[in-house]
Each structure stands twice: as C-alpha cells, then as structure tokens.
Amino acid sequence: MLESVSAQHRLSKGIQHLKLLNKELETAIETALLSAQESGELPRFEIPRIPVSAPKRADQGDLSYPAIGLAKLARKKPLDIASLIADWLPPLDFAGEVQVAPPGFINCFIADDYLKRQIDAIIAEGDSLFQLDIGCGEKAQVEFVSANPSGPITIGHTRGAVVGDAMARLLEAAGYDVQREYYYNNAGVQMIKLGKSLMLRYRQQLGDAAELPAGYYQGEYLIDVAVDLVANHGDSLRGEGWEFFRDAAESRMFDWIKRSLASIDIKHDRFYNETELFDSRQIWRVLDKMRENGHIYEGAYWEGADEDEIADVTAKSYEPATWFRSTTFGDEKDRVMVKSDGAPTYTLPDIAYHCDKLERGFDIAVNVLGADHFSQAQVVKHGIEALGMDPAPIHVIFNQMVRAVRRNDETGKLEAGKQSKRAGDFDTLDDLVEMTSADAVRYHMLARSPNSQLDFDVDQVVKQSNENPVYYIQNAYVRCAGIFREADERGFSDAGADLNLLGDDELRFIRKALELGNVIEQAALNYEPHKIAFFAHELAAVFHPIYDTVRVLHSEAPPEIAKARLRFYRAAAVVFYRLLRLMGMSAPERM
RNA sequence: GCUCCAGUAGCUCAGGGGAUAGAGCAUUGGUUUCCUAAACCAAGUGUCGCAGGUUCGAAUCCUGCCUGGAGCGCCA
C-alpha cells in the first residue's frame, strides 16, 4: 500500500517547488530506458527499480545511478547502457553535466543556477520546508510511551517517547494527518497492587505498622504521594478501600508522566485505557468474533501441550481456560485469552484495542514498543488476523534496550550507571533532563537505530562543548541568528541580493540541504526516524567550515557579496530550524 | 532448545549489493584585530565476529558457527 502511495507523491503547493531530485532523476532514467527500448537500441525487459543515490566523492557528481545493474537484463556492457541512458535522458532543469563513468555509472551534477534558485525557494517554504504530500492527508497514528501509570517514566520509556514523537513529526512532514496516542492497562492486578501499595504507605504515614509485601510497589515516590494525602486529608481516608487509593495513585502518576513528557516537548492527543474496552464490553465482542471464526477453545492446557506441560498444569489443578489457537497463524504455542478464574489476560484487551484502532480507519498505525514486547506484538497481530482483519496498516518499531552508562576511568569501558558513586540514580526521564537537557535527551535518544542497544553516555551528554553533537547542530542555527542580529543592528539587509555572487562553498551547503526531502521521505515511510538525526549532523558539518570563511559583515566583504551571503544564511537558518523542529529540539537564538 | 536484535577504528555508533568503508569522542599538532572558537584546519588508526556460498561486484544477500542482549507465563 505504501508503494502505491509513494508513487504518487507530490510536493505541497507553494509558490516555489522544491523537488525530490532523486525521484526526478529515477523517473527520467526510466523514461530514457523506455525510449532506448522503443528505438530498438536496447532489448525489451522489465525495468527494475534501482535507486539513485548520492556518491561518496565529489567528482562523482551529486546523484548517481548504477546502470551496471541492468547489464544482465539488457545483455549489454554496463558502460554502453550508461551511455544509452545519457543519450536518451530527457532534459532536467536541475541537471548540469551528466557523466558516464566506468564501470557503468551515470553521474549527474546539479547545475549551479538551479542551486542558486533554491535559496529563495527554501526561504519561501520556511517552517514547512519540504512539507511533502505523500500521505495525501490520510490518517496515521503513532502509539507510543504507553507506560502503565504505576511509576515514573524510565529511561527505556524515554527512548520510545522520543522515537515515537519524532516518527509522528516525520509522518506529519510526509503529509499525514497524525494522531499521537497513549494506551495503558489500568484494569489488571498490577493497578490493584499499586492501590494497595499506596494504601499501606498512607497508613505508614499515619503511624500504623504496615509492611509492603513483596511484589508491591516499593518506590519512594508512593511515600511522597502518601505524605501529600496526609497533608491534605489527615487521617480521614483511613476508611477508604484500595480502589480509592488506586484511583488516587493513577491520577497522581499520570500527572507526573505528562509533566515529564512535556519537559521534552511531547504531548499525546489521546489517552486510551483498557477500562474503556471492559466498560464497552468490546473485549468480549472481540472474543466472540474470534470464537465465531473458529479460533477459540476451552481447555486446561493448550492443544499442543507435551507431557511436561500437562503434568505442570495438572499439578496446579487449573480449571479450564479460554485459549486462542494462535498456532494457526504461525505462533509456537496457543495463548490464553481468559484465565481459569474468568479474568482476561492482558492480551485480549490488547487485541481488542488494536482492532478498535483499525476500525478507526488509520492508514498507518505505528506502534513503538520495547524489544521485550516482541512476542506479545506477534500474538496481537495473530489476533487481528483471527478477527478476519488485515494487520498491514500496523507497523511496530521495536526499540532495543537502553541503559544509562558512565565511563569507568580505570578500565575506559562504559558501565551501567547505578554502580557509579558519583551518579546517584539516573534512570528516569526527569533525572536525565535534570542532568543534561531536554534537547540533549532528545537528540541522543534519536541518534541511534532502534535496532541497536543504546548506551546513554551521561558524561558525554552533559558536556556542553563541541564534543557534543547536540550543540554542534544547534550552534549552526545560533550562528545564523547571530549574523541576523548583527545585520539588523547595522541596518544591513539582503534586499535585492544577487545570488550569482555566491561561491562554491555556499552551493555545497544548498546541495546537501536539498537532500532533506528525501531524508524525510525515507525516515517516515521506512520508519527510520534516526536518519533525520544523522542528516542534521552531516548538514551542520557542511555548514560550520563555510561559516568560518564565508563572512557577511566583514570589512573585506564588498556590500553586494555580503547581501548575497546574508540571503544564503537566511536559507540555512530555515533548514536548521526545520531540522531541529523535526527532531523535537529547540532552535535557540543564542547559546 | 526456539524466535528477534546486535557484533564495523582505542570507545560510542552510522552505512546495509556498487566506485578508495564513514562520523563523533579519545590522541597529536596548528588557527581568533571584524557576524559566538560550543568553531575551523591538519595527522594517524580497520582481518567490517569466524568459515563457506551466491554475484561482474559482498561490510551489505544466503547457510553454518561463535559472542553479547531481549523474549519464549493462566504477569502486565
């Protein structure tokens, strides 16, 4: 489905149009190949999609296409095919020189004139730079964080929060109408334990001798809540049951969670909880539907259980439970939907929730989960299939584990944080933000493939220096802002700037900046939000050397050249602003 | 035992059929009369875990193995 959508991608209407040059060239090459086939110079074969990419070396052009890949199909020498393509290539307004390079590459240079024109185009697009229309306004949802309200946002949740929010921003940039959702379980035994834990903490505050049993929530934060309850209500809550305390705890925890997330500029549009699915009896309707479709059965153990499992279950003398025959869909064993005590497992509401999600009509439903949810997510997917629904819109990003680390000065190795004497605890989002900054947390959590385990190096992130990529990127924007401030003070403007006076350095930056559209598309449609973080750093690395030599308000820069350069920096500032916002980071005017 | 993720420079990680494998940190040396040096310039560093295979071409794909992490509940 994505392919068909992406094929009809368009850019938003603006006065100026920024193009996805890779796509343009790919299309043009396809046209050239068809023409060559038409003319008989090339045999007929189905043209495979070979992506145009940016070569590593400058002398290999800005966009490169390996025609080598067609050699076998065309039964011709790669270099000859490349030549044919070059011959038949329709005119492209952005293309300068087109070279054929051995062993069979088409290397296309972007024309300087085109690059210069893009500067005003970038400024015109402003905050919506490279706002794509791939999504055509279709509905997308990102479900992320989804931590149960039983404690603070941990470092692991934080990764999901940052990745999810960046994903949402990228989908918006790709043209989707995006909803951010937070789903949580508040109907199970864990919340009962939370309520009882708070109740005991409350009684402790009143001087009762109460111990928290093992498995209850031992965290000190519940003591804080209990202290508050005593301060506000004295001992008047002594008669309240655990339900009261559960609700009080849930409410307090959610206030905390929302405040923590807000501190890194993350806000959900909707909070959806399990209780809704119970109250609406939706979970039972889902179970009935699965039963109707023949995927549900009752039994003390699952149909494929071996002797050991049966012996184990028999020993526990369970009453029969309700099973989902998920093995039909490739699962390794069937799963319990309703326990023998009549309570549903958490899987059933989870399936019901995703069913509801699909019924709400999202064309894309991204789910950001920790890798420890892998099996669970598979079962949910099987459940959706058992309902006769298509799980295709659902895409899960699994984040591998994350831990806070510090460098051990003796070994030089990174070690998990808690053992550090200097550190104290820093395994919550609040701690991380306090020790570093919201921007640093966001950047470092994002600048890693979700598939990689992440060691959050607290010491490195704390450093506010050029050692830290966060400030390296932001400083690019700050430097632009500094130029604008100084220009304003001197009453200098870029009105009537002649961009022909710009040099190769400036154009090198524009070249790189024009890749942003492709980066957004790739990051959004392939669910790889980390790409935007790497691109931001690369762009800053192109920017800073230019800043050093391309001076605007310098005694040796003639006013006409200064004007053109000022206009250039206006464009650069737009690009960095857009990038920083896509990552959910701030774009400070000064640092 | 099975499933998923990872293994690339001293460290943390990008790249994931294409041209001479990259970045940051760390190391060494240099740069500032003028828009913030949180910057720039220069230097060195590799058995891309191991072994086979596919291919014109493999860090990238396939198979097997090794190492580390996460799962495999009538927990949520």
pLDDT tens for each residue of A8-57: 333 443 434 678 898 889 999 989 988 888 888 888 888 888 888 888 88
Rounded to a whole number of angstroms, the CA Rg of chain A reads 29
Lowest mean pLDDT among A2-16, A173-187, A245-259, A449-463: A2-16
- The DSSP bridge partners found for residue A335 are A324
Q: Report pLDDT for A15.
A: 39
Which CATH superfamily, name and number, covers A467-582?
A: Isoleucyl-tRNA Synthetase; Domain 1 (1.10.730.10)
Q: How many CA atoms lie within 13 A of A215 on its CB side?
A: 5
**Positions 24-83 in A, CB within 7 angstroms of strand B:** 55-57, 60-61, 64, 66, 68-69, 71-72
- A427 CA – B58 C1', rounded, Å: 41
Output the average pLDDT for chain A: 88
Cβ of residue A518 lies below 7 Å from strand B: no
Average pLDDT on A489-505 reads 89
Chain B nucleotides reached by a protein CB under 7 Å: 2-7, 10-15, 18-26, 33-41, 56-57, 68-76
pLDDT of residue A147: 92
- The three-state DSSP-derived secondary structure of A382-394 is HHHHHCCCCCCCE
For A331-355, what is each residue's pLDDT tens digit? 989 999 999 999 999 999 999 999 9
In the numeric block, the tokens 């990419």 are attached to: A53
Round to a whole number and report the distance in Å from the CA of A591 to the C1' of B31: 23
- Is the pLDDT at A527 greater than 80? The verdict is yes
Strand B contacted by A547 CB (< 7 A) = yes
Domain with CATH 1.10.730.10 in chain A: 467-582
Average of pLDDT values for A572-581? 97
Contact A147, A257 (CB under 8 A): yes
Alpha-carbon distance of A458 to A455, in angstroms, equals 9
**Helix/strand/coil for A180:** strand
The model's confidence at residue A4, banded by pLDDT at 50, 70 and 90, is: very low
Q: Could you please report the per-residue DSSP string of A413-428?
A: -EEEGGG-TTT----B
Q: Per-residue confidence at A455, pLDDT binned at 50, 70, 90? A: confident
Name residues whose C-beta falls within 8 Å of residue A32's C-beta, 6 or more positions apart in sequence: A84, A85, A86, A87, A88, A89, A90
How is domain A2-110 classified at the CATH fold level? Gyrase A; domain 2 (3.30.1360)
Residue with tokens 């401030």: A485
Q: Residue A248 and residue A194: Cα distance in Å, rounded?
A: 10
Give the per-residue pLDDT at A516: 94
> How far is it, in rounded angstroms, from Cα A100 to Cα A86?
7
Instruction: Report pLDDT for A5.
Output: 37
pLDDT tens by residue, A402-426: 888 776 655 556 666 543 333 334 5
Is pLDDT larger for residue A15 or for residue A546? A546
DSSP character at residue A212:
P
ipTM of the complex: 0.95
Contacts of A75 (CB under 8 A, 6+ apart): A43
Does residue A321 lie within 7 Å of nucleic acid chain B, judged by its CB? Answer: yes
Q: CA-to-C1' distance for A186 and B76, Å?
A: 10
Does residue A506 approach strand B to less than 7 Å at its CB?
no
Contact A177, A360 (CB under 8 A): no
- A334-338 contacts: CB < 8 A, separation 24 or more? A334/A302, A334/A303, A334/A304, A335/A379, A337/A287, A337/A290, A337/A296, A338/A287
A552 or A75: whose pLDDT is higher? A552
Rounded Cα distance between A341 and A335, Å, is: 15
Backbone φ, ψ for residue A51 (5° rounding): -70, 145
* Cα–Cα nearest to A229, from A255, A206, A197: A206
What per-residue confidence (pLDDT) applies to A143?
A: 97
Does the C-beta of A151 come within 7 A of strand B?
no
Nearest C-alpha neighbor of A397 from the set A414, A362, A420, A373? A373
Point out the nucleotide closest to A69 (alpha carbon to C1′). Answer: B18
Minimum CA–C1' distance nucleotide for A469: B24
- The ranges of chain A annotated as CATH 3.30.1360.70 are 2-110
Distance CA A233, CA A514 (A): 61
Q: How confident is the model at residue A459 (pLDDT cuts 50, 70, 90)?
A: confident
Q: Which of A179-193, A269-283, A305-319, A442-456 has the lowest mean pLDDT?
A: A305-319
Is strand B within 7 Å of residue A318 (CB)? Answer: yes
Nearest nucleotide relative to A569: CA against C1':
B35
Question: With pLDDT > 70 as the criterion, what percentage of chain A qualifies?
Answer: 93
Check if the beta carbon of residue A441 is closer than 8 Å to that of residue A264.
yes
Rounded-to-5 percentages of helix, strand, coil across chain A: 50, 15, 35
Which residue is listed with tokens 């591998």? Answer: A400
The answer to whether the CB of A157 falls within 8 A of the CB of A381 is no
Whole-number Å distance between alpha carbons of A285 and A270: 23
Q: Is the CB of A452 under 7 A from strand B?
A: yes
β-strand pairing of A321-324 with A364-370: unpaired
Sheet holding A414-416: strands in order across?
A414-416, A402-407, A454-457
CA distance A297 to A307: 20
Burial class (CB in 10 A: 0-12, 13-18, 19+), A61: buried
User: Could you tell me the pLDDT band of residue A71, with boundaries at 50, 70 and 90?
Assistant: confident
pLDDT (average), residues A219-241: 93
Distance of A462 CA from B30 C1′ (whole Å)? 28
